[in-house]
Amino acid sequence: MATFETKPLLLTTAAPTAAPSTATVQQMFGTTSTGQVVVAHKATDNGAGSFLGDMGTVAYAGKTFNLRVLRRNRSVTAYESEHEAAAAFEAAIADGGASSGAGLRGGQYGRTSVQESMLAGSSIAASYRVAGSVARAKTQAITPPAVALALCPYTSEQAVPGSVMFRWMGKTYQDFEGVIYRDRTDTSAGIASGSMTYATNTALMTDWVVGGTGPGDFQLLSLWTRKGDWSAASIFFSCDAAPLKAGPGGFVLSVVDLLGNTLTANVDAQGFVTGQHMRGRVESSRGGVELQFGDYVLDADLTAEERAQWWYSAADVGAVQPGKIWRPWPVDPTTLRYSAVSYIYLPVDVALMGIDPAALPADGRVAFARAGDLCVVGVLHGGVAFAPTVGMVYNLGAERLSFAQVIDAATGAEIQVGYTADLDAGTVTFADLTGYPASIKVIGRTEVYRKIAEVRVDGKVRLTEPVGYAFPAGAVFSTALRFGDRFARVSRVYDQASWNGTTWYDGVDPAKGEATATFASGQNPIVVTNRGAITERWALRIRADGQTLDLIGQHLGQIASGNINADFSPTHMAAGAPYMTVPSAGWGSGWVAGNVLFVDTIGAEAAIDCVRCTQPGSPAGIDDSAWIVQRGDVAREPGSSFD
């Protein structure tokens, strides 16, 4: 083995601390066990990029060098020592004579060429020293993250606007109209440095000056608080009257939660309260009501923040329902309203009561018109049955009608096609009788819209201006409810992965989640008209084939079916127009069985509650009736006398 150790090629920063001033070359020799000569060379440059002689150069910028590591023109001088030829020596020994000179060989000198070779590619090791770096100046603008300062963390009361002032890191801050200002004075508006959340007493700082003794240098100078709104998650009360009517319709309650949503409660046949975010029971016999607002939620679905809330207790998990805990849903108790139907039992013996129940109220009349209300004075025309013909012009005998209507003489169903009406002339012209019954009626109405100035005790009404029309005997005075501008529209469109078919939410059910597919209502809006649309929640549920859909209304139930590959326009039979038109282009792909598209529509007609009060007793005449008419003006102001 050689006395030298071969090393791999290595570039390292562990270089000498000072560069040599002149180039040097060192050689060390050794031999292997087989007699092979091994030479180790060590070369250094002169610090200017040159090795000794013509051995090579160093390129500092490119971090490369060119070095001659062996030569091919070397030779050595060898000496051959003298010795006897073997045959001559044997002859001398045999005959005892001296060896002749012919057998003697003397020593001699000669030159031998030497070839150097690399033992391996890894027999070169290089080291160098890295030059000192040059300092460079750079700048960087950093926007610090917002810092939330909990000014009053140990209270549930709310901060009073304009009362907040604190000193932080040597600067004074105060609030004004929800904004935190720095260095605000009577003569300076200050610098906007953040925002104030009064409900949580938190200042969100987005611009501040570092100073003082650091971020911990804080002093609250002023902060007033006030009591927040009262909320409750449990309510117990007794109704004004008892006993209550048991079952559906006997009790209805509404209340507004802290998010502004109206919650409605109903009672089932067993007296249990049903409704969103609530449970409870109504005791019909005494009119007692007990309600809890909230939901049973899976403990596994709760976050760490929710488990830190005041209502969470590990001991309550599974106490009523396996794996679930009751999570309260606070409401504003001042918004609670209820309606209840109670029974009143009158004794048979009038003398025992002391009064005649039939005399309550004394005159049986209820005021329905008041000063400032709107009213409509109108009279009907026509109503005689006849057989129409194509081209026939039917004259109602009155001009300046408010509306004209064609109805089936036998069923009373309205016919909306096949004719044109001239309201100013009071005529109806028939153009197409396809699908008409054998006998029809045409009715029209003349109306005047006025405001009530006075309602007298004797039942007479004075208006703010003259009627302007000679109404005959039999004209009807009606009160009117004014609803302002009305128009049909789609209020909300959203999808859901699945649905139980009975529960309606105000948004996506968190337990179901959104469907994978989405209806592109922005590019392909669902179309509604004032004539056909109604106020309803609709569910379009996809069947097993992924294309057929069923239309289900919250109040109407399932009324139609369609396909996502064609425009869907379910007909509103009473209006003769579609409830809506769902364009096929909006569906796209990816719908699977059970997916539901929810569509909330609002009709142009306003909702009206009708209550009929009758006196106890036997009917004295034939059945009576009432007629509710929706009036409207499209894209024009009402006239002074006629609409």
Q: Is 498 exposed, middle or buried (0-12, 13-18, 19+ CB in 10 A)?
A: middle
Could you say which residues of the chain have pLDDT below 70? 1-21, 35, 72-122, 228-229, 345-367, 457-458, 611-617, 619-623, 632-643
Amino acid, res. 286: R
Are 244 and 222 part of one and the same domain? no
Residues 384 and 476 in one domain: yes
- pLDDT (0 to 100) of residue 6: 38
Q: How far is CA 131 from CA 14, 19, 126, in A?
A: 12, 10, 16
Do 210 and 276 lie in one domain? The reply is no
- The string of DSSP codes covering 461-500 is EEESS---S---TT-EEEEE----S---EEEEEEEES---
Identify the three-state secondary structure at position 85. Answer: coil
Among 486, 505, 489, CA closest to 598? 505
The C-alpha atoms of residue 499 and residue 161 are separated, in whole angstroms, by: 46
Please give the distance of CA 69 from its chain centroid, rounded to a whole number: 74
Instruction: Mention every residue, 6+ apart, whose C-beta is less than 8 A from residue 508.
Output: 494, 495, 496, 514
Contact 265, 254 (CB under 8 A): yes
d(CA 551, CA 562): 8
**Domain for residue 60, yes or no?**
yes
- The first and second tokens of residue 113, run together, are 């060429």
Q: Residue 48 falls within a domain, yes or no? A: yes
Q: State which residues form the domain around 116.
A: 1-81+111-132
9 and 128 together in one domain = yes
Q: Count of domains in the chain?
A: 5
Which of 287, 317, 340 is the last residue before a domain boundary?
A: 340
End-to-end CA distance of the chain: 122
What is the model's pLDDT at position 426?
A: 92
Q: What is the pTM of this model?
A: 0.37
Is position 467 within any domain?
A: yes
Rounded Cα–Cα distance for residues 143 and 205 (Å): 12
SS (H, E, C) 585-607: HHCCCCCCCCCEEEEEEECCCCC
**Is 218 part of any domain?**
yes
Is 395 in the same domain as 435? yes
Residues 240 and 173 in one domain: no
Asked, for residue 139, whether it belongs to a domain, the answer is no
Contact 357, 346 (CB under 8 A): yes
At 418-468, the pLDDT tens digits run 999 999 999 999 999 999 999 999 999 999 989 999 988 667 899 999 988
- Alpha carbon of residue 271 to chain centroid: 37
Distance in angstroms (rounded) separating the CA atoms of residues 503 and 510: 13
Both structure tokens of 32: 């292997």
Query: What's the full length of the chain, in residues?
Result: 643
C-alpha dihedral over 202, 208, 214, 218, to 10 degrees?
A: -40
As a whole number of angstroms, the longest Cα–Cα distance in the chain is 187
| DSSP tag of 88 | H
| Domain-embedded: residue 335 | yes
Q: Judge if 9 and 77 occupy the same domain.
A: yes
Does residue 218 sit in the same domain as residue 240?
Answer: no
Do residue 283 and residue 331 come from a single domain?
yes
* AA identity, residue 232: A
Q: How many CB atoms lie within 10 A of CB 51?
A: 20
The reply to whether 391 and 475 lie within a common domain is yes
Say what the pLDDT of residue 2 is.
43
Residues forming beta bridges with residue 327, ordered by sequence position: 295
Helices vs. strands in the chain: H and E counts, helices first: 3, 41
- The CATH number given to whatever domain includes residue 465 is 2.60.40
Same domain, 72 and 158: no
Q: Quick one: 414 and 312 in the same domain?
A: no
Last residue of a domain, one of 99, 132, 165: 132
70 within some domain: yes
The answer to the question of residue 100 being in a domain is no
| 179, 200, 226 - which closes a domain | 226
Is the separation of the CB atoms in 581 and 601 below 8 Å?
A: no
The answer to whether residues 97 and 88 touch, using CB atoms and an 8 Å cutoff, is no
